[in-house]
Structure 1
Amino acid sequence: MTTRVWDYLQEYSEEKDDILDAVRTVLGSGQLVLGPAVRAFEEEFAAYHGLAHCIGVDNGTNAVKLGLEALGVTPGDEVITVSNTAAPTVVAIAGAGATPVFVDVREEDHLMDTDQLEQALSPRTRAIVPVHLYGQCVNMEPVLRFARQHDLAVLEDCAQAHGARHHGQVAGTFGDAAAFSFYPTKVLGAYGDGGAVVTDREDTNRALRQLRYYGMDKVYYVVRSPGHNSRLDEVQAEILRRKLRRLDRYIAGRRAVARRYAEGLHSLTGAGGLVLPTTSAGNEHVHYVYVVRHPRRDEILQRLRHYDIELNISYPWPVHTMSGFPELARPRIPLPRTERLAGEIFSLPMYPSLPWHVQEKVIAALHDVLSDQ
C-alpha cells in the first residue's frame, strides 16, 4: 500500500459511531441550515479560545475573506502577509479587493519575518495577516506593536494552528479576529469543508454574521449591505462539536509522531543533511504538517517512490511565482528565503492515528536514500 502524508480512515474507524451519530442527530433535528449544531459549535469553539464570538462559515478561504471585510478592508487597500502559504490565504485577500504585500520568512521556522513589516508599509496598508504556518505561531508581539503604531487591523490565519500556543496564549486570540479552516486534513478537521472566524469585538461579530448571510440582518430578504452565502453546514458543525472534545488528544498524538521523527532522523542531520523542524521560543507546536528540508529534495522524493512512499511539498511554489497572480510577480521586498525554501522543503506523513509501522517505514527509507548520497 502506498504511504501518503495523510489518511483519515484509521481515525474514522475509531470514531465511526460518534461521527454517524452526529449525522443522525442533525438529520433528525428538523433544522438543516444555521440550526442548533452551528450555534452550539460556535459557543464551544469561542469558549475554547476564551473569546466572546465565533462565526461559522463554509470554508477557511471565506473565513479570511469575510474576516478582512468585517475589519474594514476594502478594494484598493493593501494587506501584509507572506508568500509561502497555502494559496487560499492570498486568494481571500484578493477576493476582498485588496492587494497582498509580501514580507520574507525566517530561516529557522519559515514564519513571517516581522522585522520587514516597516518595509512593506504604505499609505494604502490596512491590515496584516500573519500565517501561523505548519502548526506554530508567528511571533505576535512585534506584529501587534506595529499594528497599533499604524492603526492596522490584524487577522490571524490559524488554518494550520488549532490549539497552538505562543507564550501560553492560544493561537487566534492575539489579533482583532482570527480565521480557521476545518478542511479534513486540519488539526481539527471536518468530514467536508468548513471554517470559522473568532473575535472578541462585537462590531466584527455583527458584521460577519451579516456578511455570511447575503448581507441580511436577521430578517430574511432585507439586505443591509452586499454580502455572501457562506454558512457552516449543520452536519459539519455537529461533527466538529464532537471532535473539538478530542482536540487536545489529537494534538498529543501529533506531538508523539513528531518526537518519533526527531529521534529516528536525528542521525541524518548535520552539514548538508536533513533539516528537521524546530519549535521557536515561546511556542507550543501542534505539528499540522512535519516539514523537513534537504538541498536534494527532488531527488529524494523521486527515490522514495521506489519504496512506495508519496510525499507532499508544503509548498512548492510561493504564491508570487504562480501564473494566476501575474501582478504579484515582482514583490515590493525581495523574498530570497521564501524562494530558496520552496526548493528544499517536503512533508513527511503526519496525523494522530499514523501507525508506528508506517512511520518506521518512512524513517527507514530516508536512512536508505540519504546514506547513498
Structure 2
Amino acid sequence: MSWRDLDEGDVRVRPNRRGSRPRTKERPAHADAVIGMVIGVDRGRYTCLIPEVATKRHHQPERVVTAMKAREIGRTRVVVGDEVALVGDTSGDPDALARIVRIEERRSVLRRTADDTDPVERIIVANADQLAIVTALADPEPRPRMVDRCLVAAYDAGLAPLLVLTKADLVDPAEFLASYTPLEVDHVVTRRAAGEVLGLAELRERLEGQVTVLVGHSGVGKSTLVNALVPDARRAIGVVNDVTGRGRHTSTNAVALRLPDDDGWVIDTPGIRSFGLAHIDVDRIIDHFPDLAAGTGECPRGCTHDEEECALDEWVAGGHAGPAGVSRLESLRRLLRSRSAAEEY
C-alpha cells in the first residue's frame, strides 16, 4: 500500500511521554501569597483566618477561608495554630477553595506519641504560648500521672503550664495542689454554683493575650469551660460513665476559638486517654530543674537520676538545692517516672 492511499484516520501518532516542558527543581516563590492562621482541620480541609489588612490604597476585611494542601507541601502535616501561606481564591466566599503552599516557621510545637514505645510523634498544635491542663477533682477522679506527663510535654515544648482544676464544689483542691507546690505551677480553681461556673474571671486573666491549648481527659469539664469563655463556641458536653468513671469523647477535632474582645485564643482539643512521651529526651526534663541539674555532674555514667547511685541525693542533702530541695527532687523523679512508665493513665 502506498502512502498516497492513506488518510488522517490511518495515521497513529505516539505521544511524547516525556512532555515538552523540561523538569526543574525550582518552585514558585508565591510572592503574592497571603498569611492566615489555621483554626480548624477536618478531613483534608483547613479552615484559615486571614486577618484584616488596611493600607492607604486598599482595605481587605478579616475573612475565613477554606483551603487544601498544595502538592509542594508533601506529607508535612498542617495543624491548628499553624501560620500558612495561601494562594488561589482567598475571598472567603462559600464555594471558594484556596491552597496552602507554605507553612511559616513555628514558634512552638506541642507533641505527643500514642504511648512510650511508639516512635511516631503526633503534633497536637503549633504556635501556642501556654498549656492549660484541665483536670477534675472528682467525677472523674484526678490522675496525677497524666498531669505530670502533660507538664513534661509543656516544659519540652517551651510552653508555660497552667493547672485548671474543675469541680472544686465536690472536693477541696488543697490536697491535690500540695503535690505541685514544689514545681511552682500556676493554677486556677473553678467550681459550679447555682448553674454558673465560678473562677472564670481569674481564668480569663491567665488567658488574656495568649494562645492557650486546653488538654485533659474526657469528662473533666473542658468543653464546659470553653463554652463559658466563648459563648458562641457551642462545644458538645459529655457525661461520665458510671461504670468506668471515664468521660465520653465529645470533641473529635482540635479547634481554635478567639476569646471575646480579641484578648487571645483557646485551642480546644479532643479528650485524651494517654499522653506518650517517647519523643522526649530525659536530659531535657532535668534542664527545667536548674537547681538540681547542677548536681548531676557527679552522677555515674548513664545515670537515670532515679536510682541509688544518683548523686542528686547527696547534693540535696548538702543543702545545695535550697530549702525546697527534697520536694523538688521528689517532683523531678516523679516526672522522670512518668516519662519512662509505659502504661495508660
TM-score category (smaller protein):
under 0.3
Structure with larger RCO (C-alpha < 8 A, sep 6+): 1
Which structure's residues are more often helix, by fraction?
1
